[in-house]
Amino acid sequence: MQAREKRFSRAERSWILYDWANSVYATNIMAAIFPIYFAMMADATGDKIYGFAVSAANLIIAFLSPLLGAIGDFHGRKKKLFAGFLLLGLAFTAVMAAFDSWQMMLIGLVISRIGFSGSCLFYDSFLTDVTTPERMDRVSAWGYAMGYIGGSTIPFVLSIAILLLMKQSILSYKLSILITVAWWAVFSIPFLRNVKQEHGVEEPPRQLARAAFSNVAKTFRAILRDRRLLVFIVAYFFYIDGVSTIISMATNYGSTLGLGTIGMILALLVTQVVAVPFSILFGNLSKKVGAIRMIAIAVGVYFVITIVGFFMGYNIERAELSGGDVAAALQTSTVLFWILATLVGTVQGGIQALSRSYFGQLVPPERSNEYFGFLDVFGKFSCVIGPALYSLVYSLTNRPSLGILSIILLFLAGGVALACGRRHLAPARTDKIAKG
């Protein structure tokens, strides 16, 4: 019986496989391949507005998420909306490879990011449809683990190989983008075939938009009344901002310090490899010690990561100011960067997976889209504070090490929120699930 319970159902396997499918977009388009390609093709104007375009895409999906979630909660709507955003993402990712104009590439990026984020919103909310509250931690953790293998390692390595073999020609970048489209599309098929919406609310005969807006308002009031949900969302807002900032600023910070590009790329691969077993481990341990305790442990590890990041920069800054051996300092900081990459791999997937599954246990299944839409809003807006804090402190002190150290404030705030709200954040129980 136990062995049978540990096996994933067809719906669970198909849901997990979408993480394997879509992670290639996050790695190749958002983080590694496309930014380099765009910088190569764009002029000074394109370089300046790139960040604004990314922010615009994030803001659009953030504002739309609660309304989209409310519409998706009506029976029969969730799967159609997921498929629509998936196709939007696939089509405009292909546009990025089809044109040499940086303006068209940027349009493709903005719309494809909206498609990607929209599909992820509905994908996350489908967790309540494919499994039970007791299995959510394990299923969610395996999703992140497969994502690290599928999207973040195999196609990424393949793309790097193509770039090296073709000497980073324009065609090699186009082929890398098309690999992203193909991988994402092919491995999305099991999800489209086997995952079904099991929970939902009855669709009104007319005035769908009005009913959706009404449900959004009800959900917002329900979140404010539910201490557990409110405490968790506040804590999530801060600690996930710290996590996102570490992810997005790591290579930029390393480049600022003068670390080698190849070494940092290899370290990024180490992060993906380490994340696979640790994501699964977090899911398994949550059954024994609880998801919130594991999240708190991860926040503690991020404290250590931030301190390691500080000493990376401090080591070089001290050598430069004192006229010491800068080359030796760079070598030491490179070792610290590898340590940081390994530490990130131990907790990155785990904290994201357990945050998703714990939230899924708290919300009413029939209105999961709506609730995940609000979580997405907090996640998107939180991504603004960390980079801004880093840049502000760096600008004021002219020391990038102090900029990265300032991120510890976000983990401190998230940790304090978890500690202060621990009475409300008792293990989620199916008989105490929030009512809409």
Residue 60 pLDDT:
86
Q: Over 50: is that where the pLDDT of 160 sits? A: yes
* Structure confidence at residue 432 as a pLDDT band (50, 70, 90): very low
Half-sphere exposure of 290 (CA within 13 A, CB side): 9
Average the pLDDT over 118-145 and give the result. 89
Average the pLDDT over 253-261 and give the result. 71
Dihedral sign from CA coordinates of 198, 282, 22, 89? positive
Looking at per-residue confidence, does 32 or 279 come out higher? 279
Residue 331 pLDDT:
86
| Residue linked to tokens 């709200």 | 421
Half-sphere exposure of 95 (CA within 13 A, CB side): 19
Q: List the structure tokens of 260.
A: 């080698």
Looking at per-residue confidence, does 280 or 212 come out higher? 280
The answer to whether 1-197 and 225-436 have equal CATH topology is yes
Q: What is the pLDDT of residues 14-72, one digit of tens each?
A: 999 999 999 999 888 887 788 878 878 888 787 668 767 877 887 788 788 877 877 87
Q: List the structure tokens of 435.
A: 């009512």
Q: By mean pLDDT, which of 19-28, 160-169, 203-212, 297-306 is the weakest?
A: 203-212
Q: What is the pLDDT of residues 72-92, one digit of tens each?
A: 777 778 899 999 999 999 999
Q: List the structure tokens of 366.
A: 């029939």
Rounded to 10 degrees, the C-alpha dihedral 265/271/272/273 comes to 110
Residue 221 pLDDT:
82
Give the three-class secondary structure for 371.
helix
Highest average pLDDT, of 4-13, 79-88, 277-286, 425-434, comes from 79-88
Average the pLDDT over 313-335 and give the result. 85
Average the pLDDT over 136-160 and give the result. 85
Q: Over 80: is that where the pLDDT of 142 sits? A: yes
Give the start-to-end residue ranges of the domains of the chain: 1-197, 225-436
Q: How far apart are CA 432 and CA 201, in angstroms?
A: 20
Mean pLDDT of the chain: 83
The residues facing 380 across adjacent strands are none
Q: How far apart are CA 125 and CA 361, in angstroms?
A: 11
- Work out the percent of the chain whose per-residue pLDDT is above 90: 32
- Helix, strand and coil percent figures for the chain, each rounded to 5: 85, 0, 15
Cβ neighbours of residue 106 closer than 8 Å, sequence gap 6 or more: 38, 42, 46, 49, 50, 53
Residue 96 pLDDT:
95
| 225-436 CATH fold | Growth Hormone; Chain: A; (1.20.1250)
Residue 1 pLDDT:
37
Exposure of 436 by Cβ count < 10 A (0-12 exposed, 13-18 middle, 19+ buried)? middle
Residues, the chain: 436
* Structure confidence at residue 211 as a pLDDT band (50, 70, 90): low
Q: What is the pLDDT of residues 378-398, one digit of tens each?
A: 776 666 677 778 878 888 888
* Structure confidence at residue 3 as a pLDDT band (50, 70, 90): very low
- Phi/psi for 7 (5° steps) reads -70, 145
Taking domain 1-197, whether its CATH number is 2.102.10.10 is answered by no
Looking at per-residue confidence, does 205 or 420 come out higher? 420
Q: How far apart are CA 382 and CA 240, in angstroms?
A: 7
Average the pLDDT over 208-216 and give the result. 65
